[in-house]
Amino acid sequence: MKKIGIILTIAMLMVQCKKENHFLIDKNKIGNLESTTQVYELEALFASDSLVVRLGEGDFADSSYDEYLVYSKKGEQLLSIIPKEQHDSTATIDHVQILNTKFKSEKGLGLASTFKDIVDMYSVSKVEDAISVAQISIDELNATVTIDKKELGLNDFSSHKIVVEQIPDMAKIKTLTIWFE
């Protein structure tokens, strides 16, 4: 009887760990989505969610790349997945934009994090100036985070060199993208 109880406890813990991993961000991995995942596998991976496919067609479409949008059954946007190759069901994933605060790294980084959270949890490898955002690279996660220039007290389109020290601790994350190798 004790063996059955132990086995059931272990099984329940394993199921619970799997459930938590659905929203875990790591290098080359988001939940069950990995760098080796192919486009044709997305439908099965997100069977309990809603997968919207937008195929790019170059100049005549909304975008020039394929995009796979994942929504929860409640209609919440979860992820935007971009494959490495267009119109290729065997292509692997290039990058994933996190669209929901449920997704977090093991250290707690997610869309609801601030710049202080980023520097407390990870090393910032690079800060780049883009048109309306500061783009921050985090090598440990192979991620880029953007922060709106307005959070820095700068106007859009300004070309000031942005350094880590000038980013306020409470600056909010605008986007979080995980790049797959």
Point out the domain boundary residue: 58, 79, 103: 103
pLDDT in tens, 60-86: 445 578 999 999 999 999 999 999 999
Rounded to whole angstroms, the Cα distance separating 108 from 38 reads 27
Answer for the pair 106, 116: CB distance below 8 angstroms, yes or no.
no
Q: What confidence score (pLDDT) does residue 8 get? A: 47
Shared domain for 66 and 128, answered yes or no, is no
Task: Say if residue 10's pLDDT is above 80.
Answer: no
Rounded to whole angstroms, the Cα distance separating 135 from 132 reads 10
Point out the domain boundary residue: 42, 76, 103: 103
Residue 135, SS3 per DSSP: strand
pLDDT in tens, 123-156: 999 999 888 899 999 999 999 999 998 888 876 6
Residue 65, SS3 per DSSP: coil
Answer for the pair 70, 44: CB distance below 8 angstroms, yes or no.
no
Shared domain for 62 and 120, answered yes or no, is no
Domain hosting residue 93, numbered range:
26-103
pTM for the structure as a whole: 0.83
Shared domain for 109 and 171, answered yes or no, is yes
Mean pLDDT, the chain, as a whole number? Answer: 86
* Residue 3 belongs to some domain of the structure: no
Number of domains in the chain: 2
Sign of the dihedral through C-alpha 79, 76, 19, 68: negative
Task: Say if residue 29's pLDDT is above 60.
Answer: yes
Answer for the pair 177, 98: CB distance below 8 angstroms, yes or no.
yes
Point out the domain boundary residue: 80, 103, 126: 103
* Residue 62 belongs to some domain of the structure: yes
